[in-house]
Amino acid sequence: MSKIETRGLSLFYGNFQALIDVNVQIKEKMITALIGPSGCGKSTFLRTLNRMNDLIDGIRITGEVLIDGENIYGNRTDLVLLRKKVGMVFQRPNSFPLSVFDNVAYGPRIHGSKNKAELEDIVEESLRHVELWDILKDKLDHSALNLSLEQQQRLCIARLVAVTPEVVLMDEPCSALDPVATSKVEELMAELKKQYTILIVTHNMQQAARVSDRTGFMLLGKLLEYGETRQVFTNPKEKKTEEYITGRYG
């Protein structure tokens, strides 16, 4: 069974239709990349998967999004549980103006881990997971905002890992990073894939080609093509996809 499946998913901002009948099945423990020109709806699509779009006034969604077979737009969805299960990494690292420790411990604390030793374990494990522990173990009480952007983005991933999600949505996670930092985060993603189902929205086609197992190409709110990354990049079925990846527009 696929981890995530959308059926006839459409999204309207007022009268503007930002997503048009998106049908996709996303497999567990794989990296799926979404590419497409700006404004094609890829970030909007990503945000339907943890219902972050709910924050925007005047939005209407039709169709179904099934995660582990359950429609998250059904009446019984608990947003808190959904977002715990489907975490998100944002375009710019958005660490809180707190210490490194408090950033990582933020989620577990609110979700009920009060015990100090338990929190320390979670923080260490999460930081190890994103390979920050060795760098930061003596600086846990330093402000997270003093870290480099790359370290902050890793920290944000550690903060997410600390609440043990199953799906990780990444919305252009490297757009604020330089090439070296980008390649480090990409390595991290390959590592995270072992445990998590990852969806990444990216402007960078090389990145999609490098890290992902599957790629979806979106244009004007439609998912035009979706398949094995290798196939999408070397032998796209749609002419528009070919034009985009060969740089004829975008």
Partner 1 sequence: MKIRAKSHLKISTQTQQKIAFTFLGIASILVIVPVIVIFVILIQKGLPAINWQFLTAMPRMGMRAGGIFPAIMGTLYLVSGTIVVALPLGVLAAIYLVEYARQNFLTRMIEVAIVNLAGVPSVVYGLFGMGLFVIYLKLGVSIIAGALTLAIMILPVIITSSKEALQSVPRSFREASLALGVSKWQTICCVVLPNALPGILTGTILGISRAAGETAPILFTVAAFYLPRLPKSIFDQCMALPYHLYVLSTQVPNVNPKIQYGTALVLVGIVFLLNLVAIIVRSHIRSKKQW
Q: What does the binding site for partner 1 look like in residue numbers (CB under 8 A)?
A: 50, 52, 55, 57, 79-85, 87-88, 90, 92, 94-97, 106-107, 110-111, 143, 145-146, 156, 159-160, 163
Calculated CA dihedral for residues 159, 163, 169, 172, nearest 10 degrees: 0
Quote the least distance from Cβ 188 to partner 1, whole Å.
18
Quote the least distance from Cβ 139 to partner 1, whole Å.
16
- ∠ CA 174-190-23 to the nearest 5 degrees? 80
Give residues with Cβ within 8 angstroms of 9, minimum separation 6.
19, 21, 22, 23, 45, 48, 61, 62, 63, 64, 65
Residue given tokens 């173990």 in the structure block = 137
Nearer residue to partner 1 within complex by CB, 155 or 245: 155
Instruction: List helix spans (H) across the chain.
Output: 42-48, 79-85, 100-110, 116-129, 133-136, 149-161, 179-192, 205-211, 229-234, 239-245
Nearer residue to partner 1 within complex by CB, 176 or 181: 176
CB-based burial label for 75 (10 Å; 0-12, 13-18, 19+): exposed
Quote the least distance from Cβ 163 to partner 1, whole Å.
5
Quote the least distance from Cβ 29 to partner 1, whole Å.
21
Quote the least distance from Cβ 159 to partner 1, whole Å.
7
What single-letter DSSP state applies at residue 199? E
Nearer residue to partner 1 within complex by CB, 82 or 220: 82
Nearer residue to partner 1 within complex by CB, 94 or 206: 94
Nearer residue to partner 1 within complex by CB, 53 or 215: 53
